Homo-oligomer: A and B are copies of this chain.
Amino acid sequence: MRNNARKIVWHPSGATAEDRGPLLRQQGCVIWLTGLSGSGKSTLAGTVEKQLLEAGHLCYVLDGDNIRHGLNADLGFSAEDRTENIRRVGQVAALFADAGLITLVAFISPYRAGRSHARSAVPAGRFVEVFLDASLPVCDKRDPKGLYRKARAGEIADFTGISAPYERPEDPELILPTDTLSVEQCARRVLEYLRDHGLIAPRGEP
């Protein structure tokens, strides 16, 4: 093959997020769930994921289970490593959104700077910050992983809410008070937000 011919033929196609949207009746976006340990992030992510899949939408959950054991297996829990953990999660979420997926992120992500950095990685209107506003006593009482108990016993250092700060979102897209709302109520609000903002097609529309 002549080099000139190759120069013409071998060019990248450059598919964009817009090329993928119609395929899925959705716009790629990041739903960033933030809140204390025990505030219900993983459970809400799983419930929204299930409802979206049942409605024919493609979505994916990024959480400690699939990130900490793989991509971020090299990171510990120092302040520096936690910052890097959230930085990478934000970048990966942006790639998933660019691929057209509704991307649910479930990490405590206690710092505004980290969440702001994640927001800046996706186009405007494609980042939905959801604050699961649960009170510390309720989270502490639930303690699904026994982490509060360990943190209080001094077995875990720098535990958010106990010995490390949680910076409340200043202007999130959604605030869900999970002390009082059920997971179904929370999931409904997330799906309503997605419909109202054109991120998924309204019911019955293609």
Q: Which chain A residues have a beta carbon within 8 Å of chain B's beta carbons?
A: 1, 3, 6-7, 9-15, 19-20, 23-24, 40, 42-47, 49-50, 53, 56, 58, 60-62, 66, 70-71, 74, 84, 88, 91-92, 94-96, 98-101, 121, 141-142, 179-180, 182-184
Q: Of B24, B40, B94, B184, which contacts A70 at CB under 8 A?
A: B94
Which chain B residue lies CB-closest to A5? B182
CA–CA, A6 and B11, complex, Å: 54
Q: Is the CB of A98 within 8 A of B66?
A: yes
Q: Are A19 and B53 in contact (CB under 8 A)?
A: yes
CB atoms of B92 and A10 under 8 A apart:
no
**A182 vs chain B, min Cβ distance (A):** 6
The reply to whether A46 and B15 form a contact with Cβ atoms under 8 Å apart is: yes
B46 touches A1 (CB 8 A): no
Listed by A's residue number, 22 A-B pairs whose Cβ atoms lie within 8 Å are A3-B141, A3-B142, A6-B142, A9-B184, A10-B40, A10-B183, A11-B46, A12-B46, A12-B47, A13-B47, A23-B53, A23-B58, A24-B58, A62-B95, A66-B95, A66-B98, A70-B94, A70-B121, A71-B91, A95-B96, A96-B96, A99-B101
The smallest C-beta distance from A179 to any residue of chain B, in angstroms, reads 7
Alpha-carbon distance A13/B42, docked complex (angstroms): 9
Report the separation of the CA atoms of residues A62 and B121 in the bound assembly, to the nearest whole angstrom.
Answer: 16
The answer, among B1, B15, B43, B58, for a CB contact under 8 Å with A179, is B1
**Cβ-defined contact, A43 with B11, below 8 A:** yes
Complexed CA–CA distance, A49 and B40 (Å): 37
Residue in contact with A20 in the complex, picked from B7, B23, B53, CB distance below 8 Å? B53
Q: Is the CB of A23 within 8 A of B56?
A: yes
A133 to chain B, nearest CB (A): 14
